[in-house]
A and B are shown apart, each in its own frame.
Chain A
């Protein structure tokens, strides 16, 4: 702001800060949480597995033995560990009805499933936090309308509406042309956000209401802090711990929702592979191949969601030790 308030020049600060601050500064909330998280074995297992899955998906272009859409009709429904042709890598997890390598498809599918989940989670948290913070700090009729609206959205049967909207929005020519080749992916993200923000907004509203009457908020207001400042630099940071836990567990829930939609044929459309639509193809394959076709895509969903749940459990313990159970 003005130099009158900061008598030291920047260079002075730099010279002093590293020595003085490091010695005096007590351990921050975040490094404490990280230490507690590191002791949680299951959470570390979850974190490690997730990093592995993300790495596997990102590096699909270099690591996948085959392109995800390379068709070899002579090799349809190859069993696990079947050798590839001359000089080609083996089909470790077999092939699907068009002879496409399942392992390669799993790696590419991870990209879509994880991207959908990540984008949905971030947007959901953003919308939910804003709604909850506004409802909680404005109070009165704003709060009333927003929360009644959230109630209404919570009572609506979500999965059927997801199915209806995604099947009909996909048929909308103008929208699909506007969104381009990833239309089905973007539509899914938007729908999941529209029907997913209520839980977070209730959470944030609740913690804003308990925080609002505390002294440091009144102090900010007395010092002339604007409403936006109160909300975004005091209320939201202080209710961040439960938001992080909700986001983590929400990420797992989105993976399941997206897979369920794609499994029922209402989600991400082939040829783009996701774990869900690979299971849909497995379901429509002849019964004797069902086991090999369904095993690996479902296992990836299971492993990802399990890791996320372990991590979420660990984060809950680490961020707020009072919330044990």
Chain B
């Protein structure tokens, strides 16, 4: 087992090295740079001035290790070997410096920007995942036990509908119905305009027992309620989408278990049906769900690009869209490398969890 873990860790590190390199190369081969806007608004800027600005950000250096021949304007300097921008970036990342934003938040460190958005995404994705699982698992179990009943058909239909409705449509329709027509929820954003703080700051104050965010004193709960109202529609859209997937997974997994011999044995022993289903059936049916849950970890932090964009939720997904539209490659690179890391890591975690809950699985 230890051998297996070590081997997987090495494989993951190699995979991540290549992924981050590929991402870096793709982003840097794509046209567009940090000074595009500057040049557009200053048509008299000369090429050598631009070269000098690019040199300040090392953008004149080669991408991968190779010859570097500095040229500023007409002046040609002797060539020398350079480690390349990718390895330089990687070296800084290892030391905790993920670079600085080019355009969306000029000059701010990438890691700080990500940290500022992270909790909004975790809140949105976490709540919608938990609510979806709490609703979907019992539904899936019920419809598996009562296969071909009316409720089972209803659940299957719901799963088909949920999988076929893209979030960009359900999101717009939910906004049109529940906030424009009925006025139950605000259309977008994270707090009512003019209020002091938002739900994340209020939660921070509550969790630190009033030591942080003194400006929110006395109105923590009002702020949280306001935040939950803003959260309702985006979370609802994601719950609906997840509901379809999770109820179908649970149903399939439970149907598989119900056919097993040990279920018949348990019944033959004279155990109560309820006990057979819950103790022998459910516990085995949940095993595959653990793997699927592990595969969902990246999205918990990576956020939902489309839903966050529709509802102007200030999470990671929305920041990613903004930074792609604004050609802010350091931010994009940071977000994508972190989410690839989470994908690789959670795959690994899923395999380990699987082996841990199911002793029949042996890695060697």
Mutual binders A and B: yes
Q: Give A contacts to B, CB under 8 Å.
A: 151-152, 155-157, 159-161, 163-165, 167-168, 171-172, 252, 256, 259-260, 263-266, 276, 279, 282-283, 287-288, 290-291, 294-295, 298-299, 301-302, 305-306, 309-310, 313, 325
Could you tell me the dominant secondary structure of chain B's interface residues?
Answer: helix
Does B181 count as interface, using CB distance less than 8 angstroms? yes
Q: What are 21 A-to-B residue pairs whose CB atoms are below 8 Å? A: A151-B15, A157-B302, A157-B339, A160-B305, A160-B320, A161-B23, A164-B324, A168-B30, A168-B31, A260-B306, A264-B306, A266-B324, A279-B169, A287-B176, A294-B169, A294-B172, A298-B165, A298-B169, A301-B169, A302-B164, A305-B166
Known: A152-B18, A325-B255. A306 touches B164 (CB 8 A): yes
Range class of the B interface residue count:
35 or more
Chain B nearest CB: distance from A188 CB in Å? 16
Q: Find chain A residues with CB under 8 A from B163 CB.
A: 305, 309
Task: Type the 1/0 row for B160-174, where 1 means its CB is closer than 8 Å to any CB of A.
Answer: 110111101100110
Known: A160-B336, A295-B173. 7 other contacts (CB 8 A): A155-B340, A164-B26, A164-B30, A264-B305, A283-B172, A287-B187, A298-B172
Separation of A310 and B160 alpha carbons in the complex (Å): 8
Separation of A255 and B147 alpha carbons in the complex (Å): 31
Separation of A279 and B176 alpha carbons in the complex (Å): 13
A302/B165 in contact, CB under 8 A = yes
Does B177 count as interface, using CB distance less than 8 angstroms? yes
Known: A167-B324, A260-B306. A291 touches B26 (CB 8 A): no
Q: Find chain A residues with CB under 8 A from B310 CB.
A: 283
Does B242 count as interface, using CB distance less than 8 angstroms? no
Q: Find chain B residues with CB under 8 A from A164 CB.
A: 26-27, 30, 324, 332
Task: Type the 1/0 row for B247-258, where 1 means its CB is closer than 8 Å to any CB of A.
Answer: 000001001100
Separation of A265 and B306 alpha carbons in the complex (Å): 12
Q: Which residue of chain B lies nearest to A290 when distances are taken between CB atoms in the complex?
A: B176
Known: A155-B19, A157-B302, A325-B255. A290 touches B165 (CB 8 A): no
A309/B176 in contact, CB under 8 A = no
Chain B nearest CB: distance from A173 CB in Å? 10
A288/B324 in contact, CB under 8 A = no
Does B137 count as interface, using CB distance less than 8 angstroms? no
Does B325 count as interface, using CB distance less than 8 angstroms? yes
Task: Type the 1/0 row for B302-336, where 1 means its CB is closer than 8 Å to any CB of A.
Answer: 10011001100000000011001100000010011
Q: Which residue of chain B lies nearest to A161 when distances are taken between CB atoms in the complex?
A: B26
Separation of A139 and B254 alpha carbons in the complex (Å): 36
Does B32 count as interface, using CB distance less than 8 angstroms? yes
Does B22 count as interface, using CB distance less than 8 angstroms? yes
Q: Which residue of chain A lies nearest to B339 when distances are taken between CB atoms in the complex?
A: A157
